[in-house]
Amino acid sequence: MRKAMFWIVILGFVLGLQAADDNWFGFDRGISLSQKQSKPMLVDFYTDWCHWCKVMDEKTFNNPEVKAFLNFHFITVRIQAEDKKAFLTYKGKKYNHVEFSKAAGVRGYPSLAFFDKKGEIITIIPGYVPAKTFLPILKYIQTECYLKKISFEDFLKKQDECDKKESR
């Protein structure tokens, strides 16, 4: 019995470390942190049955470069988009996850919503995004190039263009 209890404690500790490493928050906590820390927020809308959501977790969110960039520059939130029992508050209105997903314009899974530092939706990207493609998107959002009227295509051609346009 003591051995079984020992392994249960060890397993709980290991799982706790993994959960702490992920830095995913609920929406209410995430939007609060986003505004306090003046960081943009990424919301991952997922479902339990979604194959590409699992691939996104495994291949994109677990990519060391993506993980480091997200942890440093973004507040990350996960919303189980089909959960009618979980609630969040956005702009003073209470939503369950299904209602909020629809209100945000989510039409498929996974969907990634980017919010600015004030809690306004910047854009939603539907579908699986490989890490190699995701990193430039994160940099584009983090540097706020969209506010400088630089298209994503132009940003990809000359990523330093954002800095030049800002200093003019």
**Which domains does the chain carry?**
24-167 (3.40.30.10)
For residue 30, give the 3-state DSSP assignment: helix
Q: pLDDT at residue 2 above 60? A: no
Q: What pLDDT is attached to residue 157?
A: 86
pLDDT reported for residue 31: 97
At 32-44, the pLDDT tens digits run 999 999 999 999 9
For 98-162, the DSSP string reads HHHHHHHT--SSSEEEEE-TTS-EEEEEES---HHHHHHHHHHHHTTGGGGT--HHHHHH-TTHH
Q: pLDDT digit string (tens) for 99-149?
A: 999 999 999 999 999 999 999 999 999 999 999 999 999 999 999 999 998
Distances (CA, A) of 91 to 7, 33, 120, 126: 45, 15, 9, 23
**Cβ atoms < 10 Å from Cβ of 146:** 17
Residue of higher predicted confidence among 29 and 9: 29
Contact by Cβ (8 Å): 76, 65: no
Bridge partners, 95 (sequence order)? 88
Amino acid letter for position 118: K
Measured CA to CA in angstroms, residue 103 lies from 59, 82, 91, 112, 133 at distances of 28, 13, 12, 14, 27
Do 130 and 52 meet the contact criterion of CB atoms below 8 Å apart?
A: no
pTM to 2 decimals? 0.82
Largest CA distance in the chain: 70
